[in-house]
Structure 1
Amino acid sequence: MTDPALDAEALRERAVASLITARDRTTLLTSCVDGPDLTAQHSPLMSPLVWDLAHIGNQEEQWLLRAVAGQEAIRPEIDTLYDAFEHPRAERPKLPLLPPEEARRYAADVRGRALDVLETTAFHGTRLTEAGFAFGMIAQHEQQHDETMLITHQLRRGPQALTAPDPEPVPLFTGPAEVLVPGGPFTMGTSDEPWALDNERPAHRREVAPFRIDTTPVTNAAYRAFIEDGGYDEPRWWTAEGWAHVRRNSLTAPLFWRRDGRQWLRRRFGVTEVVPPDEPVLHVCWYEADAYARWAGRRLPTEAEWEKAARYDPAGDRSMRYPWGDADPGPGHANLGQRHLRPAPAGSYPAGESPLGVRQLIGDVWEWTASDFLPYPGFRAFPYKEYSEVFFGPEHKVLRGGSFAVDPVACRGTFRNWDLPVRRQIFSGFRTARSEEV
C-alpha cells in the first residue's frame, strides 16, 4: 500500500518543479522584447504582454496567498485591473496597468511567498489543498498564459525575438492513413487525476460506435490540395455560418499563409518561410477544418471519439492517462513545452503512439472536434464558475490534445480546450474521421 505521506511529498516536488518551469517560460517570453513591445497591443484579440505578466501574479496571489494561506492582500487595488471577465482584451491597453518592471517585481514577490506557502501546506483537509490542487491549478494557469503570450509573439510584427531548435527530421510517414477504433463503451474523463480541472470531471462511461480516424493530423500538403481544388470558393463544403465567415473576411488560406507565385509562404515568429508540406496544418479555424473534412468525404471526430482513440487500451479494456500509457510525457512521446516553435512532421514520435496505432494525439497542434463544449454528467464547478461553466453551450467548440506551445502540466488525455469556431490565431489543426459501416 502506498504511503500517503510519500505521495504528498512527490506531489509537492512536482508542484515546485511545475511552478518554476512555468515562471522560467514566462520570464523568457517577457524578457526577449523591450518595453514598448510589452505594453503594446499586437492584436485586438490579445492582451498586452505586460497585462498577462501581472495577471499571472495576481491570480497566484488570490489563490495561493489569500485562499490557501489566508494572508492579507498585497495589492488589492489591482484585482479589478487583472480580472479577465471585468475587462475584454481590446480594452486592456487603456487601463492603468503596472509598468513592466513593477509587474515583474510584483510577480516575483508573490512567487517567493507562494513557494513558502507550498513548503508548509498540508495536501489534505480542503478541496483546494487536496493533493496540492491549488498549486497545480496555478501552474497550469501560468502555462496557459505562456501559450497565450506565445500567440501574441506570433501576431507581433517585427524582427524575430524567439528561437528554438527544430524537431528532429523523420522519414516521410508511410504508415496507414487511418486506423479503426472499435465500437463499445469506454471511460471518458477522470475522477482521480489530482490536478484535473472541473470540466474534465467526473469519469463516466460513454458508448462510441466503431469509426476510423486519421493516423496523423492533416498536413499542410493535404490542406493545400483543398485550397488548390477551390475549397474556399465552393459553398457546398461549408456550413452556412462558415461560408458567411469566409465571405465576410475574404479567407483563402490558413492564417499567416500567402501565395508567392506557385508556392505558399508563411510567417512564423518573425521569419517568412516556405510552408513545409509534411507538417500538420496550423492556424485554421473550426469552419475551415469542418469544410476540409467535408471536401475529403469525411468529418471531424466527436470529442468522445477523439478521447477513445487517445486513451483506450483494448488489451486491458481500460482508459489510460495518455496514448502511450500512464507515464508522464517525455521528449520522445510528444512535442510539448515550447521546446520547438513549430509542429513536428506528421508521423513523428512513434513512442507516443496509441495502442490502436494513432500518432501525435498529444502535442504539435490543438485538434478541433465536432463537439460543442458541454459539461459531463455530474459536473460540478470548482473552484469558480468562470473557469468552465460560463462557456458551456453551442457557441464554443472543443479542441483536444495540446500543441507544441503547451506544457505537459496543462496537457492530458482528458484535458479539454475550447474556443469560438472563428478563432485562427491559436495553434490549431485537426484530423478527420469517418463512421465505420457495419
Structure 2
Amino acid sequence: MAKSRTAPGQEDLTPRYRDVRALSEALAAPLSDADATAQSMPDASPAKWHLAHTSWFFETFVLRDHLPSYRPFDPHYAYLFNSYYEGEGERHARPLRGMLTRPSLDDILSYRAHVDAALLAALPGMDPQAQALVMLGLQHEQQHQELMLTDIQHLLSLNPLEPALFDAPSGMPAALPGAIHWIEGRQGLVEIGDDGKGDFAFDCEGPRHKALLHPHALAHRPVTNAEWIGFIEDGGYRDPALWLSDGWAWTQAEAIAAPLYWRQEQQGWTRFGLDGRKPVNPAAPVCHISLYEADAYARWAGARLPTEEEWESGALNVPPTSGNQLDGPACPRPQATDDNSALTRMFGDVWEWTGSAYRPYPGFHADDGALGEYNGKFMSGQFVLKGGSCATPRGHVRASYRNFFYPHQRWQFTGLRLAKDL
C-alpha cells in the first residue's frame, strides 16, 4: 500500500487533513448536482463518486478498523463507493457509476462532514499505524483530486455548449521556446526508486535498486503544441511507418488525427480545456496524447521516449514542488523563459510518457489484505508516466513517483519529453 516513515503528530496531520479535504470540495464547488452525477465514459467517474469514494476510504480503512465506537454514515455506501478492492466485497459496477442519481451531492457532502468529524476527533489518540493510514488516505485523495478534474473536463467536452469550469488565466507568455537542447544524462549504475528520506511513498516506488543507464540525453523541455502541429502537417497521423502496430490499429479504429480535445477551425487549431474552448497556444506543452501518439512523434522526430530510469535519474536534483501544478486553474502553460542549459519543467504541466512498462521493481511485494491491492495488481499492460501535471496537487509528486495508464488513454494531462541514444 504505502511506506509512511513518520507518524505525524496531531499538529502536523490535522492541518494537512483539513487542507486536502477542503480542496476536494472547492474543486467540486462550481458543479451542480447534475454535473456531479453524470459519467462520460467507463474510464471516468462522476465528481460525486470521487467525493464519496475518498470518504469511504477513510471510513473503511481508518475509522472502521481503528475506532471500535464508529458507526457508518450509511451501510449502503460500502457497496456504492468501493472501487476495486476485492477484499472488501461486492461493489457497484464502475461503468454504471453515473446511474447513481441518489444519494444526492448534498447527501455526499453530509457524508464527508460525518467522516471528517469522527476522524478529526479521534486523530489525537490514534496510534502510528492508524496515522500512517490517514496519510495514505490523504495521498489517495490527492490522486482523486486530479482524476476528478480530468473527468470533469471530459464530461464538459461532450456538452455541445462546451461550458468552462473556470476562467482562463490572463497574460500568459506566448513566445515560442527555442529549439530543443539535449542534456546528457548519467550513465552506468545508478540508484532508482524511493530512497526512504521522505515522509511518504507508495509501495510501487520501491524497493530502491540499481539500474544500468547507457549513454543517453534528454530534451531540456517537453514537446510544444507548435512542434506537434508540425507533426500533424507532415502527415504524422497518416504514416503507418511511424506507429507501433497496436497504435496504428487504434488510430484507424478511432479515427485519431490530433490530440484529444483538439479541433481544426478556420482560424486554426483550438482545444477544449477546463477554461472552455480556446485557440491552441503554440508555446504550451502538448497535452492529452496517448503513449501511441507520443511514441510515433518521437520516431518522427528522430528520437525516442525516455526510459523510466533515465527520466528519474535526470529529475533527482530538480525540486518536485517546482513547475505549474495545481495552485489555480489547471491548464498547461507556456514558460516565461527558456533555459536550455539544464532540464526544465520536469514537474508540472503534463505527465510525461516513458517507454517503460509499469512492472514491479526487484524485491517488490504487495502487502496482505485489501490495501495490498492499491498498486500491485495493476502491473500489467500499462506504461509509466512521470513528473505530475497542472492538475497535480503541489507536494504530491517526487522523482520516484510512478503514475501509470494504458497506452491508448489520453484524457489525463499527458505529454512527452524526447530522449536519444548517444
Which one of the candidate residues 49, 52, 55 is aligned to 2:50?
A: 52
2:339 equivalent to 1:337: no
2:163 equivalent to 1:178: no
2:287 equivalent to 1:282: yes
Is residue 186–residue 313 contact of structure 2 (8 Å, CA) maintained in 1?
A: no
Q: Identical aligned pairs, as a percentage?
A: 34
Alignment of 1:149-228 (within 5 A): 149-155=148-154, 156=156, 157=159, 158-163=162-167, 165=169, 169=173, 172-174=176-178, 177-192=181-196, 193-228=198-233
Task: Report the AA paired with residue 137 of structure 1.
Answer: L
Is residue 352–residue 414 contact of structure 2 (8 Å, CA) maintained in 1?
A: yes
Which one of the candidate residues 73, 96, 105 is aligned to 1:91?
A: 96
| 1:280-309 CA-partner distances (Å, limit 9, x unpaired) | 100001100000001111110111111011
Is residue 384–residue 405 contact of structure 2 (8 Å, CA) maintained in 1?
A: yes
Task: Report the AA paired with residue 391 of structure 2.
Answer: A
Is residue 188–residue 308 contact of structure 1 (8 Å, CA) maintained in 2?
A: yes
What is the CA distance between 1:15 and its match in structure 2?
Answer: 2.8
Is residue 226–residue 295 contact of structure 1 (8 Å, CA) maintained in 2?
A: yes
What does residue 34 of structure 2 align with?
36
Query: Which sections of structure 1, spanning at least 5 residues, go unmatched?
Result: 1-6, 312-319
After superposing the two structures, state which structure 1 stretch, 177-186 or 214-223, moved more: 177-186
Alignment of 1:38-437 (within 5 A): 38-74=36-72, 75-85=74-84, 86-95=91-100, 97-123=102-128, 128-129=129-130, 132-155=131-154, 156=156, 157=159, 158-163=162-167, 165=169, 169=173, 172-174=176-178, 177-192=181-196, 193-261=198-266, 263-269=268-274, 271-311=276-316, 323-324=318-319, 329=321, 333-346=322-335, 357-382=342-367, 384-393=371-380, 395-436=381-422
**With structure 1 as the length reference, what TM-score do the two structures score?**
0.85
Give the Cα separation in 2 of the matches to 1:71 and 1:228.
64
What is the CA distance between 1:37 and its match in structure 2?
Answer: 1.3
SS at structure 1 position matched to 2:382: strand
Task: Report the AA paired with residue 426 of structure 1.
Answer: Q
Q: 1:248 to 1:106 in 2, by over 3 A?
A: same
Is residue 15–residue 139 contact of structure 1 (8 Å, CA) maintained in 2?
A: no
SS at structure 2 position matched to 1:431: coil
Q: 1:262 to 1:388 in 2, by over 3 A?
A: same
Give the Cα separation in 1 of the matches to 2:337 and 2:42.
35
| 1:29-66 CA-partner distances (Å, limit 9, x unpaired) | 22212111112223343112211111111111112212
Q: 1:82 to 1:175 in 2, by over 3 A?
A: same
Task: Report the AA paired with residue 258 of structure 2.
Answer: A
SS at structure 1 position matched to 2:191: strand
What is the CA distance between 1:365 and its match in structure 2?
Answer: 0.4
After superposing the two structures, state which structure 1 stretch, 178-187 or 251-260, moved more: 178-187
Give the Cα separation in 2 of the matches to 1:218 and 1:12.
43
Give the Cα separation in 1 of the matches to 2:407 and 2:127.
42
What does residue 87 of structure 2 align with?
none
Is residue 133–residue 194 contact of structure 1 (8 Å, CA) maintained in 2?
A: no
Query: Which sections of structure 2, spanning at least 5 residues, go unmatched?
Result: 1-5, 85-90
Give the Cα separation in 1 of the matches to 2:232 and 2:174.
26
What is the CA distance between 1:67 and its match in structure 2?
Answer: 2.9
Is residue 401–residue 415 contact of structure 1 (8 Å, CA) maintained in 2?
A: yes
Give the Cα separation in 1 of the matches to 2:71 and 2:357.
38
SS at structure 2 position matched to 1:398: strand
What is the CA distance between 1:141 and its match in structure 2?
Answer: 1.1
Alignment RMSD, CA only?
2.3
How many matched pairs? 402
Give the Cα separation in 1 of the matches to 2:296 and 2:180.
23
Task: Report the AA paired with residue 360 of structure 1.
Answer: R
Q: 1:72 to 1:116 in 2, by over 3 A?
A: closer
SS at structure 1 position matched to 2:120: helix
What is the CA distance between 1:136 and its match in structure 2?
Answer: 1.9
After superposing the two structures, state which structure 1 stretch, 34-43 or 229-238, moved more: 34-43
| 1:90-124 CA-partner distances (Å, limit 9, x unpaired) | 1112347421111110111101221222222243x
What is the CA distance between 1:153 and its match in structure 2?
Answer: 2.0
Task: Report the AA paired with residue 345 of structure 1.
Answer: P
Give the Cα separation in 2 of the matches to 1:97 and 1:213.
50
What is the CA distance between 1:186 and its match in structure 2?
Answer: 1.7
Give the Cα separation in 2 of the matches to 1:242 and 1:230.
15
What does residue 316 of structure 1 align with?
none
SS at structure 1 position matched to 2:373: coil
Give the Cα separation in 2 of the matches to 1:146 and 1:263.
32
What does residue 22 of structure 2 align with?
24
Give the Cα separation in 1 of the matches to 2:400 and 2:338.
20
Q: 1:257 to 1:48 in 2, by over 3 A?
A: same
Give the Cα separation in 2 of the matches to 1:349 and 1:407.
24
**With structure 2 as the length reference, what TM-score do the two structures score?**
0.89
What is the CA distance between 1:25 and its match in structure 2?
Answer: 2.0
Q: 1:96 to 1:261 in 2, by over 3 A?
A: closer
